[in-house]
Amino acid sequence: MSAVRLSADLSPSQHKAEWLDTILKGDCVAALNKLPEKSVDVIFADPPYNLQLNGDLHRPDQSKVDAVDDHWDQFDSFAAYDAFTRAWLLAARRVLKPNGTIWVIGSYHNIFRVGASMQDLGYWILNDIVWRKTNPMPNFRGRRFQNAHETMIWASRDANSKSYTFNYDSLKAANDDVQMRSDWLFPICTGNERLKDDNGDKLHPTQKPEALLARIMLASTKPGDVVLDPFFGSGTTGAVAKRLGRHFVGIEREQEYIDAARARIDAVKPLESTTLTVLSGKRAEPRVAFVSLIDSGMIKPGTTLYDAKKRWAATVRADGTLAVGDQAGSIHRIGAAVQGFDACNGWTFWHYERNGGLTQIDELRRIARLGMERAGA
Ligand X SMILES: C[S@@+](CC[C@H](N)C(=O)[O-])C[C@H]1O[C@@H](n2cnc3c(N)ncnc32)[C@H](O)[C@@H]1O
Site string for ligand X, 8-27 (x = CB under 6 A): -------------------x
Assess contact for 226 and 21: CB atoms under 8 A: no
> For 281, what's the count of Cα atoms within 13 Å in the CB-facing half-sphere?
7
Shortest distance (Å) from residue 296 CB to ligand X: 43
Shortest distance (Å) from residue 85 CB to ligand X: 11
Radius of gyration of the chain (CA): 25
Query: In this chain, which of 21, 41, 46, 225 binds ligand X, going by CB under 6 A?
Result: 46
In single-letter form, the type of residue at position 206 comes to: T
Does 257 interact with ligand X (rule: CB under 6 A)? Answer: yes
Distance CA 58, CA 50 (A): 20
What sign does the dihedral 222-228-233-234 (CA atoms) show? positive
E-strand stretches of 107-200: 124-133, 149-156, 183-186
Taking the least distance from each CB to ligand X, the nearer of 204 and 243 is 204
Shortest distance (Å) from residue 367 CB to ligand X: 41
Taking the least distance from each CB to ligand X, the nearer of 99 and 206 is 206
3-class state of residue 353 by DSSP: strand
Taking the least distance from each CB to ligand X, the nearer of 180 and 258 is 258
Main-chain phi, psi angles of 281, to 5 degrees: -145, -175
Assess contact for 316 and 302: CB atoms under 8 A: yes
Shortest distance (Å) from residue 210 CB to ligand X: 9
Main-chain phi, psi angles of 326, to 5 degrees: -95, 10
Site string for ligand X, 66-95 (x = CB under 6 A): ------x-----------------------
Taking the least distance from each CB to ligand X, the nearer of 152 and 316 is 152
Query: In this chain, which of 249, 251, 322, 361 binds ligand X, going by CB under 6 A?
Result: 251
Does 236 interact with ligand X (rule: CB under 6 A)? Answer: yes
Compute how many residues bind ligand X; rule: CB under 6 A: 18
Taking the least distance from each CB to ligand X, the nearer of 101 and 234 is 234
Q: Would you mind telling me the total number of residues written for the chain in this entry?
A: 377
Shortest distance (Å) from residue 108 CB to ligand X: 15
Whole-Å CA distances, 48 to 130, 216, 282, 312: 18, 20, 39, 63
Shortest distance (Å) from residue 55 CB to ligand X: 21
Assess contact for 260 and 195: CB atoms under 8 A: yes
Shortest distance (Å) from residue 63 CB to ligand X: 23
Shortest distance (Å) from residue 87 CB to ligand X: 9
Taking the least distance from each CB to ligand X, the nearer of 101 and 206 is 206
For 49, residues 6+ apart whose C-beta sits below 8 A from its C-beta are 68, 73, 106, 107, 109, 110, 206
Q: Which of residues 183-222 bind ligand X (CB under 6 A)?
A: 204, 206-208
Residues that bind ligand X (CB under 6 A): 27-28, 46, 48, 72, 204, 206-208, 231, 233-234, 236, 251-254, 257
